[in-house]
């Protein structure tokens, strides 16, 4: 269960980072 939560957290973090990067590229 902890491993699943760990992977979900990593995926969520990756999505947030990609989202911020895409927004920054689109904004600038």
1-28 pLDDT, tens digit per residue, is 899 999 999 999 999 999 999 999 998 8
pLDDT, position 1: 83
User: Residue holding tokens 């699943």?
Assistant: 4
Angle in degrees, CA 9, 18, 15, rounded to 5 = 25
* Confidence (pLDDT) at 28: 80
Residue with tokens 């995926």: 11
Quote the pLDDT of residue 14: 98
- How far is residue 22 CA from its own chain's centroid? 11
Integer Cα distance of 23 and 12 in angstroms: 16
| Domain ranges (residues) in the chain | 1-28
pLDDT of residue 26: 93
Q: Give the pLDDT score at 21.
A: 96
């Amino acid at each position: 269960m902890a491993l699943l939560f760990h992977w979900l957290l990593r995926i969520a973090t990756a999505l947030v980072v990609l989202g911020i990067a895409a927004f920054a590229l689109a904004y600038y």
